[in-house]
């Protein structure tokens, strides 16, 4: 695999096809390997849209996104999907076993590696309790596991692929505060060389982030660490207070 995955947005503007106003305006930031970049902002601010541009679900209308210094459009779909694990806001499991769901994007992963990914994702316990364990069946859409379990299985799937860029879209908000904290602590080791971008609802999820981007109506209105933003950003103070 190429490039440690520095993700760089350079003056990115994006509007959905057919829409009048852009959803993202002039977005610039760098997410470095070994660091966590958090994105916070109210519903509809454009957080999911921003993340979705990275694996090229859509292409920027203006500006450029680079990974490891290479423009996305020169990287190729295969390289992009091998290097990026994205946990979507509504994570999806398909009909099959737990193992086959986890091996999506990590065909070679051994059972030991799958268990390790489950351990980090705080999903080891409930998988161990299921009859058949890794071979237990998941129904289409994952309707036979709870929402929080589905979310953790999708986090385990992302980890099993061992990418150099992780995108977590609101992946921790369905977890209780305790599990959220444990999971993020466990993530530190396996993601230590990766660029991690986290969209969060809860401020407590991201207080330790290396940089926080405050997104409002498609614009970055403030950026900094938690401590810096508490001093400089009214929008951030409002989010903290809410």
How far apart, in whole angstroms, are the C-alpha atoms of residue 168 and residue 225? 19
The least distance separating ligand DCP from the CB of residue 16, rounded to whole angstroms, comes to: 4
Query: Of residues 156-215, which lie at the interface with Mg ion (CB under 5 A)?
Result: none
Around 141, how many Cα atoms within 13 Å sit in the side-chain half-sphere? Answer: 1
Nearest approach in angstroms of CB 46 to ligand DCP is 4
- Find the binding residues for ligand DCP in span 36-65 (CB under 6 A): 41, 43-49
Our CB check for ligand DCP shows the closer of 46 and 142 to be 46
89/179 with CB nearer Mg ion: 89
Q: Rank residues 42 and 232 by Cβ distance to Mg ion and give the closer one.
A: 42
Q: Closest by alpha carbon to 228, among 211, 241, 215, 216? A: 211
- Nearer to ligand DCP (CB atom), residue 49 or residue 233: 49
Write the DSSP assignment of 143-194 as a string of letters.
TTS-HHHHHHHHHHHHHHT--SEEEEESTTTTS-HHHHHHHHHHHTTTTTTS
- Of 47 and 223, CB closest to Mg ion: 47
- The H or E element that residue 62 is part of is strand 62-67
Is residue 178 within the footprint of ligand DCP (CB under 6 A)?
Answer: no
52 binds Mg ion (CB under 5 A): no
| 19 counts as binding ligand DCP under rule CB under 6 A | yes
Q: In sequence order, what are the residues at sequence separation of 6 or more whose Cβ sits closer than 8 angstroms to the Cβ of residue 53? A: 12, 14, 24, 59, 60, 65
Nearest to 97 by CA among 68, 64, 131, 123: 131
| Shortest Cβ 181–ligand DCP spacing (Å) | 21
Residue 48 lies near Mg ion (rule: CB under 5 A): yes
Number of residues that bind ligand DCP (CB under 6 A): 12
Residue 142 contacts ligand DCP per CB under 6 A: no
Residue 108 DSSP symbol = T
CB of 44 to Mg ion, least distance (A): 8
The answer for residues whose C-beta is within 8 angstroms of residue 23's C-beta and 6 or more apart is 14, 15, 16, 46, 49, 218
Contact partner, 19, from ligand DCP, Mg ion, none, Cβ < 5-8 Å per class? ligand DCP
Give the residues lining the site for Mg ion (CB under 5 A).
47-48, 89
Give the residues lining the site for ligand DCP (CB under 6 A).
16, 19, 23, 41, 43-49, 89
């Amino acid at each position: 695999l190429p490039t440690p995955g520095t993700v760089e947005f350079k003056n990115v503007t994006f509007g959905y096809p057919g829409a009048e106003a852009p959803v993202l305006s002039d977005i610039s930031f760098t997410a470095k390997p070994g660091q966590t970049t958090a994105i916070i902002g109210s519903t509809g601010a454009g957080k999911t849209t921003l993340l979705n541009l990275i694996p090229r679900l859509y292409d920027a209308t203006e500006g450029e996104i680079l990974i490891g210094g290479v423009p996305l459009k020169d990287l190729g779909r295969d390289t992009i999907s091998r290097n990026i694990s994205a946990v979507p806001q509504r994570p999806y499991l398909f009909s099959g076993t737990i193992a086959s769901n986890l091996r999506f994007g990590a065909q070679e992963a051994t059972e030991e590696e799958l268990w390790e990914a489950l351990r980090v994702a705080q999903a080891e316990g409930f998988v161990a309790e299921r009859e058949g364990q890794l071979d237990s069946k998941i129904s289409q859409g994952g309707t036979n596991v709870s929402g929080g379990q589905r979310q953790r299985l999708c986090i385990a799937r992302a980890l099993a692929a061992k990418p150099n860029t992780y995108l977590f879209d609101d992946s921790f908000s369905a977890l209780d505060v305790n599990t959220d904290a444990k999971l993020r602590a466990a993530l530190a080791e396996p993601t230590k060389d990766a660029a991690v971008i986290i969209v969060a609802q809860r401020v407590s999820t991201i207080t330790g982030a290396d940089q926080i981007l405050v997104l409002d109506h498609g614009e970055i209105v403030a950026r900094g660490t938690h401590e810096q933003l508490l001093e400089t950003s009214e929008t951030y103070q409002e989010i903290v207070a809410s």
